[in-house]
Amino acid sequence: MTTVDLYDPATYEFDSPHEEFARLRQVDPVHWQDMPGEPGYWAVLRHADVVHVARNPLLFSCEAGGVVLEDLDPERLARMRDMLLSMDPPRHIAYRKPLAPEFAARIIAGMEEQIRTITREILAESRQRGEVEFVHETVGALPTQVIGRLFGLPESDWEMLHQLSQLNTSAQDPEINPDGDNHEAGSADSSMRMAIYGMQFAADRRTVEPQGDLMDIILGQQFDGRYLTDGDIGSLLVQMITAGNDTTVTMMAGGVWALLQHPDQMRLLREDCALIPGAVEEMLRWYNPLHYFRRTATADTEIGGTRIAAGDKVAMYYTSANRDEAVFADSQRFDVTRSPNPHLSFGIGEHFCLGVHLARLEGRVFFEELLDTFSVIEPAGDAVRVRSNLNNALKRLPLRLVA
């Protein structure tokens, strides 16, 4: 018998249920979880089984039922299916192909100085404050500015888009979404607002000369044999802005929180900054931005010896797979020197994160500059987590920063 409800957002309000995940990986690694008011789902908890689901996108479809646990109404599901995140092959491959060269390691590496300049400006403001709410006043600004410049979005819109991206992944938290229905499908309203914004932005950009940014590629390239409509672009921007903003903030804030909980590991990074790229990977393993993504079985099958029926919901639990004892030695230990580190926070297979090089660059530059700027980084209050079964994030992290 499970001792926690893996669906209930309250389960994740104070910490992830790592002890229960560890127990279930041994005794019930493909675990049935009920849901109120609709069919439940299979929680896939072992690393190997999550990889199996991810590497078989036709058998485990993201397009059939979307990527959140709640069943969406037809209109919302149709909108989600137009996001790159929710496309099955071959459509997903056709849409991803024109964008991939712009996110290649060589291209992203050319953004380092720009990202470093933005980071230094943000940290200079934090240094003047001395005490900050780190999630919003420090790390929140970095990916917002990077994504805004990447797409050529007006600076006056950046904060609004950051707030919408937070709603897209944290609609279950009544503090973040006080007027919503507080389940993950409720994020569709914020997604629609962002999509409408993207449609209008695309329409406006069609009337001006190319600006030399990613939007030029989106407007000028064919996707799956056709040019994108403004509606297509709105859906595409929802995912790319949300992924570029909120999940990156989670990585950075969660990484700092992990270092504060493990001062010996922070000391290692201060002594040898060459460890920072590997430390970013360990932060992603330890504090992965998203707990799960859903798939839907398209035929009767098995996962790890458990029979799965066609139409069943299947949830790939990265929070559990990233601490699988069969893959990670001393898996519950935060270790910035861990190598190899095959965490699944960027996904694997067909839907491996398009922005992986950008996320890693932002993480490396940010922690290099943070540790170089501040000799003291310490809590100035209690950390508060987002109440969500999807978004594994901090919503407040009060810190005292001393240069």
Structure tokens at 283: 């932060």
**Residue 4 within any structural domain of the chain:** no
Secondary structure (3-state) at 339? coil
Instruction: Please tell me the total count of domains within the chain.
Output: 1
Residue type, 359: A
- Please tell me what DSSP assigns to residue 290: B
Give the Cα separation of 99 and 219 in Å (integer). 11
Domain enclosing residue 357, as ranges: 9-402
- Residues 105, 370, 399, 285: is their CA dihedral positive or negative? positive
Q: Is 115 within the bounds of a domain? A: yes
The residue with tokens 């009060």 is 398
Does residue 3 sit within a domain? no
Distance CA 135, CA 326 (A): 33
Whether residue 177 is contained in a domain is answered as yes
Provide the residue-wise pLDDT of the chain in tens; the chain has 403 residues: 567 999 999 999 999 999 999 999 999 999 999 999 999 999 999 999 999 999 999 999 999 999 999 999 898 898 888 888 899 999 999 989 988 998 899 989 999 999 999 999 999 999 999 999 999 899 988 888 898 888 899 999 988 888 888 777 777 777 877 765 545 444 557 778 888 999 999 999 999 999 988 899 899 988 888 898 988 888 888 888 887 887 889 999 999 999 999 999 999 999 999 999 999 999 999 999 999 999 999 999 999 999 999 999 999 999 999 999 999 999 999 999 999 999 999 999 999 999 999 999 999 999 999 999 999 999 999 999 999 999 999 999 999 999 9
Q: Please tell me the distance from the alpha carbon of residue 286 to that of residue 283, in angstroms, as a whole number.
A: 5
- Please report whether residue 273 resides in a domain: yes
DSSP 70: S
**What's the pTM value of the predicted model, to 2 decimals?**
0.92
Where residue 142 sits, what CATH number does that domain have? 1.10.630.10
Please name which of 14, 122, 138, 127 lies closest in space to residue 398, comparing C-alpha atoms: 138
In this structure, is residue 1 part of a structural domain? no
Asked whether residue 369 is domain-assigned, the answer is yes
Query: Are residues 293 and 391 in contact, defined by beta-carbon separation less than 8 angstroms?
Result: no
Residue 188 lies in a domain: yes
Q: What is the per-residue burial (b if ≥16 Cβ within 10 Å, else e) of 275-295?
A: bbebbbbbbbbbbbbbbbbbb
> Which residue is listed with tokens 């594994």?
392
